[in-house]
């Protein structure tokens, strides 16, 4: 039986509503999975202890890899816990965490759909939150030993029960403490420091500078940064040189001789596409006009019809050989480029640790720039690839790529690509500015807007 459009719309709306109501559980589950991944790294490689430089079993490169993995999982936990808390604040869930259920009759309970498993579900949520807190606490409170920036500072959600005074006393020192009374959430409680946080941070920095081991720590961080830079630059050169060498070697010594042999043996056509043929005809016609012009101005002796035809025939043979070589070169480029892509993919697959180190290095370089430098790079990139004059550049790139591969220049495809790809790229770039750069460096975004205006 066919359903009406209205029934389908209702079904889609109901599915969207269900997906939205499941957002807290989904976010908590993803944060819990990230915490499990961190715990697995600790148990497997660090004997159940935190991931830190104190482990003498690994070198700098291996520790950099583990730190990048830890940073990635901590960011996942931070994002998902923010999503968990924000979605719970907008949803009127009947099973609020820590809420004291009101006594109901069985009929009312059946009417509201509240089963006896709400208490078990709340207990499961508590267990996951407690496990997440236990995993990330060591990296929040001991960031010096791990050399990891504490990216999570608001994940220690503690619940106060109205029937437990001991837990109440234990939670009074928490800055992220949430009080719940009979289903009402009080989020106004926050620890008040005697001194401003900026002043405390300055005092903490001075204390670190006066620490006798501060110099060793600085030297260690410098060595780690040096090793990461060397590995990253070496890997970048590897990504560039290996595909280029694979392309040239395969083209000149493997693919080239094979293609030349088959093209000569099978008497392959001179032109592989119509564009090359038209270009050769225009060049031959230009040569014929040039001969006639030279005779008319007296710079060349008069030629008989037979002599002119012989010169034109010699030029045609020369052009045929030239375009036969160019057609064979286009076929060679296709296979050589495929081999280069395979070599590049092999490097990516077999060097995952170096990729993580390179990603960390690029993050340090990009986010380490000044605000004006970031704004300059952003404007330069957008103007070149998605700006007003970018279509001309994309057209030249696509035409050169078509000629390199021996494909005819399809103007409709080129115009369609120019009309869609820069727009998509611009959208992705604006999303990156809004989603990441706006949080990590809002002053750079403000500088970019001022320079762009």
Q: What is the pLDDT of residues 334-366, one digit of tens each?
A: 999 999 999 999 999 999 899 999 998 888 888
Tokens of 303: 């030629």
Given phi > 0 = left and psi -120 to 50 = alpha, else beta, which region is 369? beta
Q: Higher pLDDT residue, 176 or 438?
A: 438
Q: Higher pLDDT residue, 5 or 176?
A: 5
Place of tokens 């924000």: 86
Q: Higher pLDDT residue, 20 or 148?
A: 20
Residue 146 has what pLDDT? Answer: 40
What is the distance between the alpha carbons of residues 157 and 130, in angstroms, rounded to a whole number? 9
Range of lowest pLDDT (69-73, 94-98, 228-232, 273-277):
94-98
Give residue-wise pLDDT tens across range 356-409. 999 988 888 887 888 888 888 888 888 888 887 788 889 999 999 988 988 888
What is the distance between the alpha carbons of residues 309 and 284, in angstroms, rounded to a whole number? 12
- Dihedral of CA atoms 308, 313, 319, 321 in degrees, nearest 10, equals -150
What is the distance between the alpha carbons of residues 142 and 149, in angstroms, rounded to a whole number? 10
Place of tokens 């034109």: 312
Tokens of 298: 């007296």
What is the distance between the alpha carbons of residues 137 and 74, in angstroms, rounded to a whole number? 11
Given phi > 0 = left and psi -120 to 50 = alpha, else beta, which region is 201? alpha
**Rounded average pLDDT over 46-72:** 73
**Rounded average pLDDT over 139-146:** 52
Question: In the predicted model, is pLDDT for residue 446 greater than 90?
Answer: no
DSSP strands (E only) in 42-119 = none
Most confident range, picked from 18-27, 150-159, 291-300, 345-354: 345-354
**Rounded average pLDDT over 327-335:** 90
Pairing of strands 184-186, 177-181: antiparallel
* Percent of the chain whose predicted confidence (pLDDT) is above 70: 72
- Which residues, in sequence order, are CB contacts of 390 under 8 Å at separation 6+? 383, 384, 422
Q: Higher pLDDT residue, 264 or 181?
A: 264
Q: How many CA atoms lie within 13 A of 345 on its CB side?
A: 6
């Amino acid at each position: 039986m066919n359903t009406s459009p209205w029934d389908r719309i209702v079904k889609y709306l109901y599915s969207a509503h269900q997906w939205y109501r499941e957002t807290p559980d989904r976010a908590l589950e993803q944060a819990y999975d990230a915490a499990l991944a961190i715990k697995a790294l600790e148990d497997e490689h660090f004997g159940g202890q935190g991931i830190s430089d104190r482990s003498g079993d690994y070198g700098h490169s291996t520790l950099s890899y583990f730190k990048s993995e830890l940073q990635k999982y901590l960011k996942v936990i931070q994002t998902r816990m923010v999503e968990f808390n924000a979605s719970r604040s907008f949803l009127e869930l009947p099973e609020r965490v820590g809420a004291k259920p009101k006594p109901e009759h069985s009929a009312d309970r059946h009417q509201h759909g509240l089963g006896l498993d709400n208490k078990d579900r709340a207990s499961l949520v508590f267990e996951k939150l407690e496990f997440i807190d236990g995993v990330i606490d060591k990296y929040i409170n001991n960031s010096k030993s791990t050399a990891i920036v504490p990216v999570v500072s608001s994940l220690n959600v503690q619940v106060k029960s109205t029937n437990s005074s001991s837990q109440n006393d234990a939670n009074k020192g928490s800055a992220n403490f949430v009080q719940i009374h009979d289903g009402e959430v009080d989020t106004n409680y926050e620890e008040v420091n005697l001194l401003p946080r900026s002043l405390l941070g300055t005092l903490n920095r001075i204390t670190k500078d006066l620490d006798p081991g501060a110099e060793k720590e600085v030297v260690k961080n410098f060595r780690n940064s040096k090793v990461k830079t060397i590995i990253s630059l070496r890997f970048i050169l590897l990504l560039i040189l290996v595909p280029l060498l694979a392309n040239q070697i395969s083209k000149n010594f493997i693919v080239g001789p094979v293609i030349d042999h088959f093209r000569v043996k099978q008497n392959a056509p001179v032109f592989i596409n119509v564009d090359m043929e038209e270009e050769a005809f225009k060049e031959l016609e230009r040569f014929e006009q040039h001969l006639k012009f030279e005779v008319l101005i007296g710079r060349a002796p008069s030629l008989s019809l037979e002599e002119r035809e012989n010169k034109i025939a010699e030029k045609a043979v020369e052009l045929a050989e030239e375009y036969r070589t160019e057609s064979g070169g286009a076929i060679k480029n296709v296979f050589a480029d495929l081999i280069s892509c395979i070599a590049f993919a092999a490097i990516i697959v077999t060097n995952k640790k170096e990729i993580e180190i390179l990603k960390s290095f690029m993050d340090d370089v990009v986010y380490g720039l000044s605000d004006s430098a970031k704004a300059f790079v952003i404007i330069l990139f957008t103007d070149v690839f998605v700006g007003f004059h970018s279509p001309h550049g994309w057209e030249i790139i696509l035409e050169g790529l078509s000629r390199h591969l021996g494909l005819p220049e399809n103007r409709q495809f080129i115009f369609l690509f120019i009309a869609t790809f820069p727009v998509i790229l611009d959208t992705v770039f604006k999303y990156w500015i809004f989603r990441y750069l706006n949080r990590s460096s809002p002053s750079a975004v403000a500088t970019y807007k001022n320079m762009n205006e």
